[in-house]
Amino acid sequence: MPGGHGHNGHGHGHQFRHHGQIREYMVALAGNANVGKSATFNQLTGVDQDIGNWPGKTVERAEGILQHQGHRIRIIDLPGIYSITALSTEEQVSREFIAHDHPDIVVNIIDASALERNLFFTLQLAELESPMILAVNQMDLAAQKGISIDFLKLSTLLGVPVIPTVAIQGKGMAELSDAIVTAIRTRPKPHVILYGREVEDRIQKITALLPVKAGDYPARWTAIKLLEGDPDTVWEVKKESPDAVTAARTFGAELETMHGEPVGTILSGERYHAAEQMVADVVTIQTAGQQEMNVTEKIDRLALHPFLGYLLLIATIGGLLVWTFIIGAAISEIMLHYLSLLAPVEPLISGSVTDIVFNGAWTGFVAALTLIIPYVIPFYLFLALIEDSGFLTRFSLMLDRGMHKMGLHGKAIIPLVLGFGCTVPACLSCRIIESPKQKFLAAFLVTLVPCSARTIVILGVVAAFVNIWWALALYLFDFILIVVLGRIAFRVLPGESVGMIMEMPDYHVPSVPVVVGQTWQRTKSLIWIVLPSYIVGSIVITALYALGFLEPINTLLSPVTVLLLGLPVMTGVVFVFGIIRKEMTLLALAAIFGTTVFSTIMTPVQLIVFALVTMLYVPCISTILALAKEFGWKKTLGITALETGLAIVCGAIAFRLLSLVM
Amino acid sequence: MASEQLEEYLESILDIEEREGIAKTSSIARCMKVAPASVTEALQTLADKGLVSYVPYKGANLTETGREMASKVKRRHRLLEVFLSDVLHIGEGNIHDEACKMEHTLSDETEYALCKMLNAPARCPHGSLIGPCDRQVGSCTECQDNPKLAAAYPLRQESLVPVTSLTPGQKGIIAFIRGDSGVVQRLTDLGLTLRTEIKLVRKAPLQGPVEIGVRKTRLAIDHAIADHIFVSAGRETS
């Protein structure tokens, strides 16, 4: 369509947000997990990414800006889900977002090679009655499997535009952007998909008893939810239209008797039936391509092999450790060497104010750089690789059995692995786990996983000034602690544990833009927190120290630091700063003692105890906030208190035991 | 032969068949603690009734009718064990023998009521799988929510097996999903609706998750959950 078409006078005014002079539109990407939503998101927003992805704030949905034909369109990537029955937090988030925030368009991305399952979700989305576009992705893979799709027919059946895409290669993105801009004007609403007679009649009878717009949700949707007996909907509607609730209950019971299944299952069955018919209408399969799909099968024979599979897993974890402790550490050292040639990376405690401020800022900058480049970026790159290729889900499957011992299942591997990068997104990713008990359990264990910040403390204090083996031993101790605490918490916490149900995606060669995009997304959120907090933090520490404010804190904490842990009295304030971010302990140590050679200020035993306590005590501020948001303050403070107590006990024991041998 | 004794034989044959493929006379004798001669005699009777196919010197296999009878008794036995241990809190050591005596006198009606009261348990206290009931219910919630007894549902036409007992590559049609509505809904949403054809792709070792192919996608499902998915087994494919 010709560019720069007017934005005025179309659609409903209240649904537009203003951004300066230009009207900003909002488009949500929704779809099953692993259909190429992230790839589409990156392709659409790649040029003009939005900064605002602060950990703990909006990680649940990535946001970005698409500039197209003079329009400014905010793209929101919703979590990948299979249904919007709101059984899991992710489903609830997506459903509420579409209903409450009224995106101008919902782009439903579907996987061309598993059309039935994907259309099932499309039909559910359609019931929310938002204007919609269908992007049929992974057309290349579908073609390999001999699947061809009649898009025109699909578009007619659904009543919305259908765009074929290969997001990884950027194919179809221009068409999709055009379609989004056109749809903002035309607002194509999907057709109502009629169910079988006996179900449909009852839905319509309930709809008739409801007001035209019951709250945020369309009347038909509400009627269906009432029929399914969705407790939230029943509760909301009960006051306004009690008749509808009563009717729905009667009809529901009637259907259950007729079909011999619960209503929820009957409706899912009906939707699948509709999806099956649609697929039969629009898809033709040439069997010639069938043999192609065995690549995944071949790799799985190795990756899921009862022996070789575990070997691969151990090799992967071993490789990560080698990288962190040997290669990463070496790079960090080289970087530090060259950066300190530019200006001394030694904190100043006296001198002119400008000197102190500059020095604090520079030290903070260097510390952030030597954390992000050798550790954070490689880890996230590796993570994106195993995620995008499909190996991460195989690891989940292989470790499922082991995770049962801690009352978790294989999916919990994903947050636990993420935790090696940063605890905050890892805690939020626990949402992929369905049962509330397991979700909390996983988040608790995630706070114990040595994140990149804790790794750098272990490396900077222990590996650098004691030896690498003690650093590894700390890591190992942490793993054992996670397993032991997991087992205890599993027994102590109320609630039930449910097993894993997870899709196994086909393998594919990771695409460079997706991997780079994902790595950047994750690193970026760290940079925006680490850089300022380092720079400001180290200025504050030096300033407070120069002004003599630190003495009282040290004295207050000395019973713990000196008597129990056997550490120098000055470490009290260091631990306080560590609550902001764990790596700040390194910075604070250097600032307060005026040296980065920690072996001159502490004995090897003290260094190990110091790192151990830092690793275990209070999760950092960002983690506390993220936990509070997900689980409430009571549980968060519980975790904080428990881990602080644990750190002191372990530290005190370690101090006494190590003093005997070292 | 008394029907009790007959059922005991069928049960033993079912057990041995599962382990060894064919039930040899000597194995049956050891299992039932009787003399091999009595076994030969009993097998002859069972064969006459069309419950087993018996080849002298080789052993016996259950016929379709025999298997149905044996599975039914097995199911009752295990349900009773759950009842004795979970409700009456009878010691682990006694429940097997108690159940052995009670299982032969249980009526259909009592069996269904017992299953309903115990919330359709998946496994007996010893960890063995409890088979599905012989009525055409699509899921347990339905039976649970319904005031009428399961006996009002028509009988199932075909025998069902949990998807976990298929061999890799084998296909089956979903006939029944056991469990609470949450799990059933999750499975249904992922495409495991009744009467859908699914394929067992792979079983992870040590009772790990099983991989199931459904609607051109593959799902890894916890072994305990997959135990709840009952299919009428189809032929094997490569």
pLDDT tens for B21-65 read 788 888 888 888 888 888 888 888 888 888 888 888 888 888 888
Q: Which residue of A has its CA nearest to B143?
A: A260
| Last residue of one domain, picked from the residues A288, A321, A350 | A288
pLDDT of residue A657: 93
Which of B138, B182, B225 lies closest to A260 in CB terms? B138
Do A317 and A415 fall within a single domain? yes
Task: Write down which residue in A229, A258, A288 finishes a domain.
Answer: A288
Residue B210 has a pLDDT of: 92
**Helix (H) / strand (E) containing B6:** helix B3-20
Q: Do B181 and A262 touch (CB under 8 A)?
A: yes
Contact assessment for residue B53 and residue B47, using Cβ atoms and an 8 Å cutoff: yes
Candidates B190, B154, B155; CA nearest to B174 is B190
Instruction: Answer whether B138 sits within 8 Å of A261, measured CB to CB.
Output: yes
The confidence band for B219, taking pLDDT boundaries of 50, 70 and 90, is very high
Together in a domain, A277 and A315: no
Residue type, A1: M
Residues with Cβ within 8 Å of A83's Cβ and at least 6 positions away in sequence, in order, are A91, A120, A121, A124, A268, B189, B190
The enclosing H or E element of B205 equals none
pLDDT at A61 over 70: no
Contact A272 B196 (CB under 8 A): yes
CATH code of B3-62, in short, is: 1.10.10.10
Which residue, A607, A603, A555, is CA-closest to A585? A607
In chain B, which residues have their Cβ closer than 8 Å to the Cβ of A306? 204-205
The label of the residue with tokens 């459903």 reads A95
One DSSP character per residue, A63-112 reads EEEEEETTEEEEEEEPPP-S--S--SHHHHHHHHHHHHS--SEEEEEEEG
Structure token digits, residue B156: 């199932």
The matching CATH number, chosen from 1.10.60.10, 1.10.10.350, 3.30.300.20, 3.30.70.100, for B71-131 is 1.10.60.10
Strands B52-55 and B59-62: antiparallel
Number of domains in chain A: 3
- State which residues form the domain around A168: 15-186
What single-letter amino acid sits at A390? G
Q: What is the mean pLDDT of residues A21-37?
A: 84
Q: What does the mean pLDDT of chain B come to?
A: 83
Query: Using the beta-carbon criterion (under 8 Å), do B222 and A300 form an inter-chain contact?
Result: no
How far is the C-alpha of A351 from the C-alpha of A328, rounded, in Å? 35
Kindly report, residue by residue over A480-519, the tens digit of the pLDDT.
Answer: 999 999 999 998 888 877 888 888 888 878 878 778 877 8
Within this chain, do residues A560 and A602 fall inside the same structural domain, yes or no? yes
Do residue B189 and residue A83 have CB atoms under 8 angstroms apart?
A: yes
**Do A233 and A180 belong together in one domain?**
no
Looking up residue A274, the CATH number of its domain turns out to be 1.10.287.1770
- Compare A33 and A447 and report the one with higher pLDDT: A447
Q: A636 with A520, same domain?
A: yes
pLDDT single digits (tens) A204-257: 999 988 887 657 788 898 899 899 888 888 888 888 888 888 999 999 888 877
Q: Are A78 and A38 spatial neighbours (Cβ–Cβ below 8 Å)? A: no
- Residue B200 in tokens: 């067992």
Please name the residues between 100 and 139 in chain A that touch chain B, using a CB distance below 8 Å. 113-117, 120
The domain locations on chain B are 3-62, 71-131, 161-236
Nearest CA in chain A to B211: A504
Q: Which of A544-553, A585-594, B219-228 is most confident? A: B219-228
Tell me: pLDDT of A304 over 90. Answer: no
Q: Are strands A22-30 and A213-214 parallel, antiparallel or unpaired?
A: unpaired
In a domain, A19, yes or no: yes
Same domain, A206 and A178: no
How many H-runs (helices) and E-runs (strands) does chain B carry?
Answer: 9, 8
A288: confidence class by pLDDT, cuts 50, 70, 90: low
One-letter amino acid identity for A416? L
* Position A15 pLDDT exceeds 60: no
Is residue A290 scored above 70 in pLDDT? Answer: no
- The answer to whether B209 contacts A397, with C-beta atoms less than 8 Å apart, is yes
Closest CA to A348 of A596, A640, A583: A596
Structure-block tokens of residue A631: 């689980």
CB-based contact A116 B215, cutoff 8 Å: yes
- By three-state DSSP, how is residue B193 classified? coil
The pLDDT of residue A12 is 41
A330 plus A281 within the same structural domain: no
The answer to whether B217 contacts A503, with C-beta atoms less than 8 Å apart, is yes
CB atoms < 10 A from the CB of A195, how many? Answer: 21
B106 in contact with chain A, both atoms CB, cutoff 8 A: no
Contact assessment for residue B180 and residue B225, using Cβ atoms and an 8 Å cutoff: no
Token representation of residue A647: 């750190």
B91 touches A: beta carbon within 8 Å: no
- Give yes or no for residue A658 having a pLDDT over 50: yes
Task: Report the distance separating Cα B108 and Cα B106, nearest Å.
Answer: 7
Which residues of chain A make contact with B222, given a CB cutoff of 8 A?
A: 400, 409, 498-501
Please tell me the predicted confidence (pLDDT) of residue A216.
Answer: 76
Q: Which of the two residues, A610 and A583, has the higher pLDDT score?
A: A610
The rounded percent of chain A whose pLDDT value lies above 70 is 91
Q: Identify which of B153, B186, B215 has the shortest CB distance to residue A114.
A: B215
Taking an 8 Å cut-off on Cβ atoms, the answer to whether B217 and A87 are in contact is no
Mean pLDDT of A37-51: 69
Same domain? For A35 and A145 the reply is: yes
Chain B residues with beta carbon closer than 8 angstroms to that of A502: 209, 219-221
- A170 in reach of chain B (CB within 8 A): no
Instruction: Look up the CATH number of domain B161-236.
Output: 2.30.30.90
Name chain A contacts of B183, Cβ cutoff 8 Å: 498
Q: In terms of domains, do A276 and A317 share one? A: no
Q: Which residue has the tokens 């996608």?
A: B217
B101 to chain A, closest Cα gap in Å: 34
pLDDT tens for each residue of A138-158: 898 888 888 899 999 999 999
Give residues 15 to 54 of B whose Cβ lies within 8 Å of A.
Answer: none
Q: Residue A120 and residue A108: Cα distance in Å, rounded?
A: 12
Given a cut of 50, is residue A183 above it in pLDDT?
yes
**Is the predicted pLDDT of residue A52 greater than 70, yes or no?**
no
* Fold equal for B3-62 and B71-131: no
Chain A residues inside the 8 Å CB shell of B213: none
Residues A48-64: what's their mean pLDDT?
A: 46
Does the complex come out with an ipTM higher than 0.85?
A: no
Candidate from A120, A259, A501 with C-beta closest to B186: A501
A162 and A243, same domain (yes or no): no
| Amino acid at the residue B46 | L
Residue B138 to chain A, least CA–CA distance (Å): 5
User: Exposed, middle or buried: residue A144 (CB in 10 Å: 0-12, 13-18, 19+)?
Assistant: middle
Q: Which residues 183-222 of chain B have a CB within 8 Å of chain A?
A: 183-191, 193-194, 196, 202, 204-209, 211, 215-222
Q: Does B182 touch chain A (CB under 8 A)?
A: yes
- Residues from chain B that touch A83, judged by Cβ atoms under 8 A, are 189-190
A 324-383 → B contacts, CB under 8 A? none
Query: Do A344 and A485 lie in a common domain?
Result: yes
Reported as type and span, the H/E element at residue A155 is helix A151-158
Residues of chain A contacting residue B181, judged by C-beta atoms under 8 Å apart: 262, 264-265
Contact B190 A82 (CB under 8 A): yes
Which tokens go with A279?
């697929």
Strand partners, A171: A166
Confidence of residue A649 (pLDDT cuts 50, 70, 90): very high
Q: Are residues A163 and A270 in the same domain?
A: no
User: B interface mutation test: which of A500, A503, A506, A507 has the most B CBs within 10 A?
Assistant: A500
> What number of C-beta contacts closer than 8 Å exist between A and B?
132
Q: Is A525 a residue whose pLDDT tops 80?
A: no
A268 and B188 in contact by Cβ < 8 A?
A: yes
Whether B219 and A434 lie within 8 Å, measured CB to CB? no
| Interchain CB distance below 8 Å, A120 and B196 | no
- What is the residue-averaged pLDDT of chain A? 83
Look at residue A422 and tell me if it is in a domain: yes
Are A501 and B187 within 8 A, CB to CB?
Answer: yes
